[in-house]
Amino acid sequence: MELSVNVDHIATLREARKEEFPDPLYAAVEAELGGADGITVHLRGDRRHIKERDLKLLRGVVKTVLNLEMASTHEMAEIAVDVKPDRITLVPESPGEVTTQGGLNLLNLKEDLKVFISNLKEKGMKVGIFLDPDIEQIKEAARIGAQYIEINTNEYSRLKVYKDELIRIARVAKAARREGLVVHAGHGINYRNAIPLLTVTEITSYSIGFAIIARAVFVGLRQATQEMVAIIRGRR
């Protein structure tokens, strides 16, 4: 199991005071020193936290795998082609949302994502899609050429009794593997709920932001990352 640490919230803190610090670049280095297998940032249309400057400098600094979450807009495609992160995770974006609300609904899309995805792949980036755990969405993701999916674990992370949702995730993860997709998971994963999710062995990577950054306030980001790495590698 791999871990990609989302450092958006470091930029959120910086933007709260319109300061030059804390810098998501330093955060990326600390997370990597703590054992992260990748760094994730979400460049939003409104640039509320991560800026293009961050993304460009991260491209030079990140030694592991740089994953860019973005909406499937023309503007973002141009930036991606220019910066060339290792991975692109397509996410839905609506103005004013506090965080990403649900997976991308591929069954209800106006634009043709197949061409969009193939253009990015041609430039050497791996392309995945953030999806709710729904078999029809998975099949569509495979059809339009996605290489991986990130299963939205938001619902799972909110439920006190999560067993049924875990079963749903496991079923979808298996279906995704049958479609030839690599399976990741993310949203709302924390130090506790990360553990039962490990039983879904098809999932090979977690994308985690808030829980790790929140823990880092008390123990530092390197240690917060180390603690999560220990959990997901089963050393705790």
Asked if 94 touches ligand PXP (CB under 6 A), the answer is no
Task: Look up 9 and say whether it is catalytic.
Answer: no
Three-class SS state of 147: coil
Residue 210 interacting with ligand PXP (CB under 6 A): yes
Q: Which C-beta is closer to ligand PXP: that of 70 or that of 77? A: 70
The Cα–Cα gap between 18 and 49 comes to 10
Q: Please report whether residue 148 would count as binding ligand PXP according to CB under 6 A.
A: no
Q: Which residues pair with 149 in a beta bridge?
A: 129, 183
Q: Locate all alpha helices (DSSP H) within the chain, ordered by sequence.
A: 8-16, 24-33, 52-61, 74-83, 113-122, 135-143, 154-158, 163-178, 194-197, 210-219, 221-232
Residue 144 or 213: the one with the smaller Cβ distance to ligand PXP is: 213
Catalytic annotation on 69?
yes
Hey, what's the torsion of the CAs at 138, 131, 209, 95, to 10 degrees?
A: 160
Query: Rounded CA gap, 200 and 54, in Å?
Result: 33
* Least spacing, CB of residue 42 vs ligand PXP, in Å: 5
Is position 128 an interface residue for ligand PXP (rule: CB under 6 A)? no
Q: Does 64 interact with ligand PXP (rule: CB under 6 A)?
A: no
User: Where does this chain bind ligand PXP (CB under 6 A)?
Assistant: 6, 8, 42, 69, 89, 91, 99-100, 130, 150, 186-189, 207-211
User: Which residues does the annotation mark as catalytic?
Assistant: 42, 69, 187
